Structure 1
Amino acid sequence: METVSVAIASIGRETLLDTLRSLAAVTRPAGVDLKVLVADDSKSGAATKLVTAHPIKSLDVTCLAVASGNISTARNALLNAADGGWLIFVDDDEWVEPDWLVKLFDCQKEFNADVVIGPVKPVYPDNTPDWLRRANPLYTDWGHRGKRLYTGRGGNTLVRVDFVRALKLRFDEAYGRTGGEDTIFFAQAAERGARIFATDDAIAREHVPQERLSMNFILSRAVRAGQSYGQMRLARHPDPLWHMVFALGALAKCGVAGSLALSFRLFDKARSFRMRQKLSLNMGKLRAVFGRPLAELYKKPD
């Protein structure tokens, strides 16, 4: 029997219950024992109280008291607690399709992957403007099934535990409130030989709260993503000349994206906004070149 641990860092959002209910309903491949680990990162034990108050039959859930206010610390606690060969990171605002687990392992076996990254599709509030739905600004397309990747993220992601432990990989706590810790973690794994692949059929969906639809949040998140990516690439290439080429490339992309954003604004608001996101992403890369600090992305738990 192969033990698979689903790892969830949570501060006790109500959406955690949707996550757990969807996990209870998944089809389990033959010989797989599914366990759920919840790293309770709230000061008040909110996630533990939520799980205790709403037990779900047929789902083995263990809560870990972390209370750090740092998602890297919470994810490292989940790595420590996993007692099987595989761990799957799922966020506490996500829920998964019934065939999700089967599809993740189908991809893993086909490509002998150490890490498999599935899509997380946003579910927007009913009052979301049509143009914003078409822009779909909170969706990141990691690619088709079998696409080789060299970084990753911490949601809807299958990880071979033995590989991580053999290399003593950890999430960097310096990025635990800013974001980018998962980008760095999986980039380090890839550098050390991890076979990371995307799949487009192991589907998770996520709730999008109203406050995340603000232009400021979406564009700030794009800046942060670009900066995290830039820091990762710059760390791998210490040559100052390479840094200059990287900066010039980002600057050129800023110019193109800015021009297209203005042009599309006249007849396609959705495409214009996507170009604004690309502009913000490349501004983030420039922030990395100039060593600007990352803003805190995650709220401290109660």
Structure 2
Amino acid sequence: MSVAAPPAPVAVIVPTLRRPDSLTRALESLFAQTGVADRLAEIVVVDNDPAGSAAATVEAVRARSPWPLVYCHAPVPGVATARNTGLLATAAPLIAFLDDDEAADPDWLAALLAAQTETAADVVFGPIRGRAPDAADWLKPYLEDFFGRNGPVRTGLIDQPYGCGNSLMLRRTALPGPAPFDPAADQAGGEDDALFAALAARGGRFGWAAGARVDEFAPPHRATLTYALARAFAYGQGPSQTAASRRDWPAVVRWMVIGAVQMMVWTCAAVPYLIVRSPRRAWALDRAARGLGKLFWMKGLEPHFYGASELARLDATASA
């Protein structure tokens, strides 16, 4: 009689950049995970601060961790570099990502693992509840929607991927090679878009775990309309840039035309909202910004949100 193989272990990677309180909240949520005692091999914290500031935070909570807590330092600031460094620190065949501004529900990891088993997907995503406690009252609903993520009501396969935060990946198929995230995206982001586009081209499958919920907290310097619109512009660039990377120029033109129409329609829609100062202006400007991004997708026009740019923002906030 054959003996069933034990379930594959999973490591959770938490990249972080100078957010001690937020990192502590994220780690405490991982320490409280239920139903994964036989699956969770280790929690890997990747400190992307050149000064190694997260080491003290990790040591302060280490005794409370039910699982091995691994600290590694990625001194060159960049989102793709941080993720790649985390992967080098673990041999687990399943990899979950939780961002340092997120806090997971107690059944988060169990829900991701169950969904991966059910769907056999290469990557599984879960819903995100956006939180913007420091935002202006009129802007808070938009920002909480912006930083959140909704999907199907039920667990199952999906056609399109989401972002890397709150995800579970089958390493063998979804994360090939020692550095699957492109360091060229270190400052602007989009490293996950490129990874998932390549996976889809190889026939990879994406899944949705309806019960794998996390909260994502927008820090004060991100809880602004200016920041959100810059991110919306960058999101809009994604489809055009992906088509350009494949040298699919007809698709690039199509996305640019779609973007031009989207920008014009939503800019016109925003005007009356701006005049009466309606909160709806935020949603209309968001869609206009996404259209503008599809139109102006070219390299060199990407806003920078990570790495050295994020460090500069944090330094400016600290000195203000």
**Aligned position for 1:174:** 184
Contact 1:150 1:186 in 2 (8 A): no
Give, in angstroms, the shift of residue 214 of structure 1: 1.8
Distance 2:192 2:175 in 1: 16
Task: Report Cα offsets for 1:87-107 as digits up to 9, x if no partner.
Answer: 001111111001111211222
- Residue 28 of structure 2 aligns to a residue in which SS? helix
**Aligned position for 2:83:** 75
Q: Which runs of 5+ in 1 are unaligned?
A: none
Distance 1:74 1:30 in 2: 26
Give, in angstroms, the shift of residue 268 of structure 1: 8.2
Identity %: 27
**Aligned position for 2:59:** 52
Q: TM-score, length-normalised on structure 2? A: 0.85
- Residue 156 of structure 2 aligns to a residue in which SS? coil
Residue pairs, 1:102-113, within 5 angstroms: 102-113=110-121
Number of aligned positions between the proteins = 300
Contact 2:134 2:219 in 1 (8 A): no
Task: Report Cα offsets for 1:132-186 as digits up to 9, x if no partner.
Answer: 3256343343521325133332211100011135567611111111111111112
**Aligned position for 2:281:** 272
Contact 2:240 2:251 in 1 (8 A): no
**Aligned position for 1:250:** 259
**Aligned position for 1:100:** 108
Give, in angstroms, the shift of residue 243 of structure 1: 2.5
Q: TM-score, length-normalised on structure 1? A: 0.90
Give, in angstroms, the shift of residue 292 of structure 1: 4.3
Segments of 4+ moved more than 6 angstroms: none
Cα distance, 1:213–1:11 mapped onto 2, change above 3 Å: closer
Contact 1:96 1:205 in 2 (8 A): yes
Residue pairs, 1:176-255, within 5 angstroms: 176-236=186-246, 238-255=247-264
Contact 1:153 1:186 in 2 (8 A): no
Q: CA RMSD in A?
A: 2.3
Cα distance, 1:58–1:243 mapped onto 2, change above 3 Å: closer
**Aligned position for 1:13:** 19
Q: Which runs of 5+ in 2 are unaligned?
A: 1-5, 316-320
Give, in angstroms, the shift of residue 8 of structure 1: 1.0
**Aligned position for 1:117:** 125
Task: Report Cα offsets for 1:230-250 as digits up to 9, x if no partner.
Answer: 2113323x2433322221111
Distance 1:292 1:142 in 2: 31
Give, in angstroms, the shift of residue 228 of structure 1: 2.9
- Residue 87 of structure 1 aligns to a residue in which SS? strand
Cα distance, 1:79–1:299 mapped onto 2, change above 3 Å: closer
**Aligned position for 1:86:** 94
